[in-house]
Amino acid sequence: MQKSERELRGADSATAAEERVRRFPHLLGGSRAFRSLSPERRIAHLQGESASRQRRMLSVKPAKPVRAQPFRIELKLPSGARKADLVRLEVRLPSGKTQALEHAPSPAELGARLIRLEGFRSGSAGELYVSSRVYFEDGSTVSDATLASVFSPNPDQLVVTPRAWLVSGRAGRVEYDWDTDEFHCRAYGSITNGSTGSRTFRTCRVRVTDGGVSGTLISEFAFAVGPFTVQPGASAYRTIDTWYPRGGSVWDKFNQRWDLTVRFTYEADGGAQVSDAAVYRPMSTVPLNPIKTTDFTAGQTTAERNAVAIAAELLEDRDVTLFGPNWQILSNQADKDRFGIIDIDWASNYWDFDEAQDMYEQISGPEQDRLDMFVPLGFAYTADVPADKRNVGGFSTENGPYPKDGAPRRSACLVLLDENDQEFFGVAVAHELCHYLGLGHVESTDNLMHRNGGTTGHKLTWQQWDTIRQHGMMKWLAPDI
């Protein structure tokens, strides 16, 4: 996205497939063969269009649901002798509202090998994402996910989301550009054309208000987009960036930590319009040095970047973000050879992380007030580690030092690379960072600080937020906040 003239206050471009896949956890991992497919092919797989020989289990009925009309989800159970005992389902509506459901198949459903789940309806058009996992009585599982489009009888609709989101729906983060002294509100928009004719869009109008969608007008402007055309029954995925320079009223309000509503209206030839709004909020930030402990493949590097993006989204639920990660790798080959795979030993009935602590002591990322997070390729457990303790995903100093050289052997956290499940990798990153910022484990299974990052959710309570915001690593986002 190029800003050709500074006085322009918005820009729009097609959303890259690499960014789109981050919205769909099922596409962020899996077998090595699957994750090496291009992002476009993985999205096509989700839409059921790929040539994959894998039998698809999950479908939405009708295949093209309509906004405000009920739809159902169907699961065709695999044939064979296996008996399904439990179905887990996660449904994310175009608005971002997400629900996890469990279902015990009835004898009739098992006999028909078909489960129909009713009672769904979407208030807006856009992408409908469903993932499922069936547990069988023999201990095996089968997983699937699907992506459908909810159409609008309107016939056109824009759905704006402040950024990609995977596990939470919340206000968008305002970003600050220190070089140009501007706040940025960035968004993803999906425009669905439910009409019979194609639509060509050329302009986006922006209205910034406070106090909700009908609040006081703070600023209004328009900028040229595309032009791009959306065919009948199709969707376009756009990335929007608007910026607000110092001295303007929007800059002043954000600088005072106000929430503002930004309404985007795309205008097509012939007068058709689509419009949607999102709320933006200034956030605190944790400057981060993610440090690879050895050379990674391109796929492993992508997994690391995805994980940090997912961690940022989780923390943004509590108005904390990871500002401008400073991507690092150990520079010395001898260090890479030593710390690429970290040894974990067992001493005094506990894990012994001596090697990781040696690394913390000897190696630091740039800047004293940036949190170091090491990412090794693997762990090597010594023979003394019991079988039930070979399950470490990461570990961290609790309430780590600020500045870092206050206690060098405690000056970082560490998260194991996980290409296979990058959403979990992101949860682990957010979890370990929060340890460093002062949080301990909790028992609630829907909390990020549960021992495994939360099984039914990844929330942080306000009390936890109040703890981490007091840590020295936490910075305010903009000049006066």
Partner 1 sequence: MARRGDRLPSPATVPVARLSAVVKARLELERHLRVCANGPLGPQFRFTVTHARVLIQMLSELDSPLSAALRARAAGVVGALRLERAVPLLRRIALDEKDDIQTRLNAVTSLILLHPRGIARDVAKLLESTDAHLRATVYVAAVRSDDARLRKLAEERYAKEKDRTVLRHVALRAPWLQSVSQTRDDS
Question: Which positions from 39 through 78 interact with partner 1, judged by CB under 8 A?
Answer: 54, 67-68, 70
Q: Which stretch binds partner 1 (CB under 8 A): 128-136, 182-190, 222-230, 315-323?
A: 128-136
Q: How many residues bind partner 1 (CB under 8 A)?
A: 99
Structure-token match 């506990």, residue found: 350
Among candidates 406, 298, 391, 377, which has minimal Cα distance to 346? 391
Min dist. Cβ of residue 104 to partner 1 (A): 5
Instruction: Classify burial at 461, counting beta carbons within 10 Å of its beta carbon; exposed 0-12, middle 13-18, buried 19 or more.
Output: middle
Q: With binding defined as CB under 8 A, does residue 109 bind partner 1?
A: no
Residue 311 has φ and ψ, to the nearest 5°, of -60, -40
Q: With binding defined as CB under 8 A, does residue 170 bind partner 1?
A: yes
Report the C-alpha gap between 342 and 80 in whole angstroms: 43
Q: Residue 369 has which token pair?
A: 């007030």
Report the C-alpha gap between 199 and 230 in whole angstroms: 5
Which residue of 47, 141, 231, 470 would you call a contact of partner 1, by CB under 8 A? 141
Which residue of 48, 398, 399, 469 would you call a contact of partner 1, by CB under 8 A? 398
Residues 242-281 interacting with partner 1 (rule: CB under 8 A): none
Nearer to partner 1, 209 or 294 (CB): 294
Nearer to partner 1, 11 or 283 (CB): 283
Q: With binding defined as CB under 8 A, does residue 129 bind partner 1?
A: no
Question: What is the 3-state secondary structure of 154-189?
Answer: CCEEEEEECCCCCCCCCCEEEEEECCCCEEEEEEEE
Q: Residue 403 has which token pair?
A: 């500045």
159, 245 in Cβ contact below 8 A? no
Q: Which stretch binds partner 1 (CB under 8 A): 138-146, 173-181, 253-261, 312-320?
A: 138-146
Q: With binding defined as CB under 8 A, does residue 82 bind partner 1?
A: no
Nearer to partner 1, 172 or 225 (CB): 172
Min dist. Cβ of residue 56 to partner 1 (A): 11
Nearer to partner 1, 8 or 442 (CB): 442
Residues 368-398: b if buried by 16+ CB within 10 A, e if exposed: eebbbbbbbbebebeeebeeeeeeebbbbbe
Angle of helix 298-316 versus helix 422-436 axis, rounded to 10: 60
Min dist. Cβ of residue 283 to partner 1 (A): 17
Residues 343-372 interacting with partner 1 (rule: CB under 8 A): 343, 349-351, 353
**Per-residue binder mask for partner 1 (CB under 8 A), 411-440, x = binder:** ------xxxxxxxx---x--xx--x----x
Min dist. Cβ of residue 14 to partner 1 (A): 24
Q: With binding defined as CB under 8 A, does residue 146 bind partner 1?
A: no
Min dist. Cβ of residue 138 to partner 1 (A): 6
Q: With binding defined as CB under 8 A, does residue 441 bind partner 1?
A: yes
Q: Residue 408 has which token pair?
A: 């060098």
Q: Which stretch binds partner 1 (CB under 8 A): 1-9, 123-131, 185-193, 314-322?
A: 123-131
Q: With binding defined as CB under 8 A, does residue 400 bind partner 1?
A: no
Residues 321-340 interacting with partner 1 (rule: CB under 8 A): 333-334, 336-338, 340
Q: Is 389 left (phi over 0), alpha (psi -120 to 50) or beta?
A: alpha
Which residue of 17, 66, 117, 407 would you call a contact of partner 1, by CB under 8 A? 117
Nearer to partner 1, 252 or 343 (CB): 343
Report the C-alpha gap between 140 and 291 in whole angstroms: 36
What are all long-range contacts of 379-384, with beta carbons under 8 Å and residues at least 24 apart? 379/341, 379/342, 379/343, 379/344, 379/416, 380/341, 380/342, 380/343, 380/344, 381/343, 381/344, 382/343, 382/344, 382/345, 382/346, 384/345, 384/346, 384/347
Nearer to partner 1, 12 or 418 (CB): 418
Nearer to partner 1, 257 or 336 (CB): 336
Q: Which stretch binds partner 1 (CB under 8 A): 25-33, 232-240, 282-290, 470-478?
A: 25-33
222, 204 in Cβ contact below 8 A? yes
**How long, in residues, is the chain?**
481
Q: With binding defined as CB under 8 A, does residue 136 bind partner 1?
A: yes
360, 411 in Cβ contact below 8 A? yes
Q: With binding defined as CB under 8 A, does residue 155 bind partner 1?
A: no
Nearer to partner 1, 123 or 366 (CB): 123
